[in-house]
């Protein structure tokens, strides 16, 4: 049950006073709100909800690409789960969209017989996956020589007017570095998102990339790619890291390599998905929203356990803790499980269009697996920054540090929330997780429940419960954020 206990005097007094004496009296949280935040932290650390939610989503439904039957099942499941947590105003907001569907695909490397002349070419089937949005090859497939580039920068440096990519299959051997923050991904992912455009600009007939991932498993990492409609759209795929290394080794030998590619896929298939929404209703500022999000869809490989089943479980359980604690927040805390983050951000766009006139105090998204949160940053108006000192103090026992210097108020929230922050100038929250192992399984068949450590989930739940609560109680609006 929710009651209005903490409302009234404490919060209003806090708005005009500071616990720090002096000429400047910046707004501060009410002491009772900070105490409740600490209580929420302890309740959430004892959370037993997130893991069973993740188990259900992975085992009972599994992969749930937007618009699929499994996605529809996930939408129904999520509403039931959120109602089970006693959240209010649970609803699914329909969202028509056009989706891409994977079909069978194969890539065969035709290496020259190494030693003796006259030895027939060696054929090796590569472990591969089409990139999301890839066009198909003609039914008979494509066979061409490989034009190999060590990374995207090398392709960009190849003059389109005289490129050796012309008439060939470009292969971009972009490597990805393992980092705690995931910065290696941002540095490498351009090969996947821009590779087909840059290869087509240079006259290539198809493009392959080394998987954007940090593992050495015999699996390929998919993910969305893009086209420039003023250029030919060419088929695009990723190969496993070990197979990319085979290609690198053979091409270093100097003999021309050929590749045969067959790829089936459908684009622009009419479908429907939903944003699933639930609330911890606010009180005196109930028309303002603190958004804690995750995305319900996944790629079609694996179970979408870390991407983003974990986030779904974490923010849902956090809202469940807030509800169970029995104290109503001032602002409404809204869980949003976005549709189709992976291949188009349709859910985030539709949410923003629908709620563009609603004041959003903060938007955040858990979409980085289940690793522990280690850093807090944000992007809010300058006057609100000092409030985060108190937020950081409540989070400190969880091993979370407030980012330092410039990074402190330059937070980049998860992808759907980041889109909303940019489009609507809503303040953003980032709870940076340890992503050291996240890209071993990201967008692959290995993104399954078995690879999730359930022990780190309650720490995540605690971080989201604490930050959502304090954002909802804050004595001033967080927006508009600094640019
Ligand atoms: Zn994701």
Expressed in angstroms and rounded, the spacing between residue 368 Cα and the centre of ligand 1 is 7
Expressed in angstroms and rounded, the spacing between residue 324 Cα and the centre of ligand 1 is 28
Asked if pLDDT for residue 391 goes beyond 50, the answer is: yes
Give, in degrees to the nearest 5, the angle at Cα 326 between 321 and 327: 105
pLDDT of residue 169: 98
Expressed in angstroms and rounded, the spacing between residue 136 Cα and the centre of ligand 1 is 25
Over range 307-334, report the average pLDDT: 98
- In this structure, of 13-17, 18-22, 313-317, 419-423, the range with the lowest mean pLDDT score is 13-17
Expressed in angstroms and rounded, the spacing between residue 375 Cα and the centre of ligand 1 is 19
Asked if pLDDT for residue 483 goes beyond 90, the answer is: no
Tokens of 214: 């940090």
Expressed in angstroms and rounded, the spacing between residue 369 Cα and the centre of ligand 1 is 8
Expressed in angstroms and rounded, the spacing between residue 381 Cα and the centre of ligand 1 is 27
Expressed in angstroms and rounded, the spacing between residue 28 Cα and the centre of ligand 1 is 34
Expressed in angstroms and rounded, the spacing between residue 415 Cα and the centre of ligand 1 is 8
Cα 481 off chain centre by: 22
Expressed in angstroms and rounded, the spacing between residue 376 Cα and the centre of ligand 1 is 19
Comparing 23 with 151, the larger pLDDT belongs to 151
Please enumerate in sequence order all residues whose Cβ is within 8 A of that of 256, keeping only pairs 6 or more positions apart, or say none. Answer: 112, 145, 146
pLDDT of residue 11: 40
Asked if pLDDT for residue 457 goes beyond 70, the answer is: yes
Expressed in angstroms and rounded, the spacing between residue 273 Cα and the centre of ligand 1 is 16
pLDDT of residue 116: 57
Kindly indicate the confidence band of residue 339, based on its pLDDT and cuts at 50, 70 and 90.
Answer: very high
Kindly indicate the confidence band of residue 359, based on its pLDDT and cuts at 50, 70 and 90.
Answer: very high
Expressed in angstroms and rounded, the spacing between residue 120 Cα and the centre of ligand 1 is 44
Asked if pLDDT for residue 13 goes beyond 50, the answer is: no
Expressed in angstroms and rounded, the spacing between residue 442 Cα and the centre of ligand 1 is 8
Expressed in angstroms and rounded, the spacing between residue 105 Cα and the centre of ligand 1 is 24
Contact (Cβ atoms closer than 8 angstroms) between residue 170 and residue 208: yes
Contact (Cβ atoms closer than 8 angstroms) between residue 196 and residue 233: yes
Expressed in angstroms and rounded, the spacing between residue 6 Cα and the centre of ligand 1 is 36
Tokens of 483: 């640019």
SS3 per-residue string spanning the chain = CCECCCCCHHHHHHHHCCCCCCCCCCCCCCHHHHHHHHHHHHHHHCCCCHHHHHHHHHHHHCCCCCCCHHHHHHHHHHHHHHHHCCCEEEEEEEEEEEEEEEEEEEEEEEECCCCCCCCCCEEEECCEEECECCCCCCCCCEEEEEEEECCHHHHHCCCHHHCCCCCCEEEECCCCCCCCCCHHHHHHCHHHHHHHHHHHHCCCCEEEEECCCCCCCCCCCCCECCCCCCCCCCCEEEECHHHHHHHHHHHHCCCCCEEEEEEEEEEEEEEEEEEEEEEECCCCEEEEEEEEEEECCCCCCCCCHHHHHHHHHHHHHHHHHHHHHCECCCEEEEEEEECCCCCCCHHHHHHHHHCCCCCEEEEEECCECECCEEEEEEECCHHHCCHHHHHHHHHHHHCCEECCHHHHHCCCCCHHHHHHHHHHCCCEEEEEECCCCHHHHCCCCCCCHHHCCHHHHHHHHHHHHHHHHHHHHCCCCCCCCCC
Expressed in angstroms and rounded, the spacing between residue 469 Cα and the centre of ligand 1 is 24
pLDDT of residue 9: 39
pLDDT of residue 125: 96
Structural domains in the chain, CATH included, are 9-98+272-473 (3.40.630.10), 113-256 (3.50.30.30)
Expressed in angstroms and rounded, the spacing between residue 26 Cα and the centre of ligand 1 is 37
pLDDT of residue 154: 98
Asked if pLDDT for residue 370 goes beyond 80, the answer is: yes
Residue 76 CA to residue 92 CA, distance in Å, equals: 8
Average pLDDT of every residue of the chain? 94
Reported as a single tens digit per residue, the pLDDT across 112-130 is 765 556 666 689 999 999 9
Expressed in angstroms and rounded, the spacing between residue 275 Cα and the centre of ligand 1 is 15
Expressed in angstroms and rounded, the spacing between residue 449 Cα and the centre of ligand 1 is 15
**Partners of 237 in the beta sheet?**
130, 208
Tokens of 366: 């858990």
Reported as a single tens digit per residue, the pLDDT across 49-67 is 999 999 999 999 999 999 9
Expressed in angstroms and rounded, the spacing between residue 212 Cα and the centre of ligand 1 is 14
pLDDT of residue 255: 81
Expressed in angstroms and rounded, the spacing between residue 88 Cα and the centre of ligand 1 is 25
Residue 92 CA to residue 142 CA, distance in Å, equals: 43
pTM of the shown model: 0.93
Tokens of 63: 């992969």
Over range 86-98, report the average pLDDT: 98
Reported as a single tens digit per residue, the pLDDT across 230-281 is 999 999 999 999 999 999 999 998 888 999 999 999 999 999 999 999 999 9
Cα 35 off chain centre by: 32
Reported as a single tens digit per residue, the pLDDT across 159-206 is 999 999 999 999 999 999 999 999 999 999 999 999 999 999 999 999
Asked if pLDDT for residue 3 goes beyond 80, the answer is: no
Asked if pLDDT for residue 1 goes beyond 80, the answer is: no
Residues with CB under 5 A from ligand 1 (ion): 307-308, 367
Kindly indicate the confidence band of residue 294, based on its pLDDT and cuts at 50, 70 and 90.
Answer: very high
Query: In Å, what is the CA distance from 369 to each residue of 52, 215, 311, 437?
Result: 16, 16, 7, 9
Expressed in angstroms and rounded, the spacing between residue 443 Cα and the centre of ligand 1 is 9
Q: What angle, 0 to 180 degrees and rounded to 10, lies between the N-to-C axes of helices 310-325 and 31-45?
A: 130
Of the candidates 70, 53, 81, 66, the residue with the CA atom closest to the CA atom of residue 309:
53
Cα 84 off chain centre by: 25
């Amino acid at each position: 049950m929710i009651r209005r206990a903490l409302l009234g005097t404490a919060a209003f007094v806090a708005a005009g006073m500071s616990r720090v004496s002096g000429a400047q009296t910046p707004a501060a949280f009410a002491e009772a709100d900070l105490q409740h935040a600490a209580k929420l932290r302890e309740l959430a650390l004892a959370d037993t909800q997130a893991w069973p939610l993740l188990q259900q989503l992975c085992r009972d439904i599994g992969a749930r690409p937007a618009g699929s039957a499994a996605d529809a099942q996930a939408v129904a499941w999520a509403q039931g789960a959120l109602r089970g947590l006693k959240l209010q105003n649970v609803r699914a907001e329909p969202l028509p969209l056009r989706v891409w569907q994977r079909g069978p695909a194969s890539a065969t490397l035709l290496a020259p017989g190494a030693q003796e002349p006259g030895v027939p070419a060696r054929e090796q089937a590569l472990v591969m996956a089409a990139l999301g949005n890839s066009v198909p090859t003609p039914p008979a497939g494509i066979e061409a020589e490989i034009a190999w580039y060590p990374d995207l920068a090398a392709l960009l440096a190849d003059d389109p007017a005289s490129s050796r990519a012309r008439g060939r299959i470009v292969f971009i051997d972009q490597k990805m570095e393992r980092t705690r923050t995931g910065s290696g991904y941002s540095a490498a992912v351009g090969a996947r998102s821009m590779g087909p455009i840059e290869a087509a600009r240079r006259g290539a007939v198809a493009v392959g990339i080394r998987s954007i991932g940090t593992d050495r498993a015999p699996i390929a990492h998919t993910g969305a790619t893009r086209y420039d409609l003023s250029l030919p759209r060419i088929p695009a795929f990723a190969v496993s890291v070990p197979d990319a290394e085979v290609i690198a080794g053979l091409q270093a030998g100097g003999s021309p390599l050929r590749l045969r590619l067959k790829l089936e896929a459908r684009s622009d298939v009419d479908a429907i998905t939903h944003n699933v929404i639930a609330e911890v209703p606010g009180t005196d500022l109930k028309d303002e929203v603190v958004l804690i999000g995750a995305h319900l869809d996944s790629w079609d490989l694996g179970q979408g356990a870390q991407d983003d089943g974990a986030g779904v479980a974490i923010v849902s359980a956090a809202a469940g803790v807030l509800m169970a604690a029995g104290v109503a927040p001032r602002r409404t805390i809204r869980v949003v499980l976005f549709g189709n983050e992976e291949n188009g951000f349709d859910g985030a766009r539709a949410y923003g269009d629908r709620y563009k006139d609603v004041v959003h105090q903060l938007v955040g998204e858990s979409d980085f697996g289940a690793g522990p949160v280690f850093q807090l940053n944000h992007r809010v108006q300058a006057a609100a920054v000092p409030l985060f000192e108190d937020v950081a103090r409540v989070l400190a026992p969880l091993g979370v540090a407030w980012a330092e210097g410039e990074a402190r108020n330059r937070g980049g929230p998860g992808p759907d929330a980041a889109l909303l922050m940019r489009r609507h100038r809503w303040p953003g929250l980032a709870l940076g997780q340890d992503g050291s192992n996240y890209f071993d399984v990201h967008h692959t068949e290995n993104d399954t429940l078995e690879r999730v450590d359930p022990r780190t989930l309650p720490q995540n739940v605690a971080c989201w419960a604490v930050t959502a609560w304090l954002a909802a109680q804050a004595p001033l609006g967080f927006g508009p954020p600094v640019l």
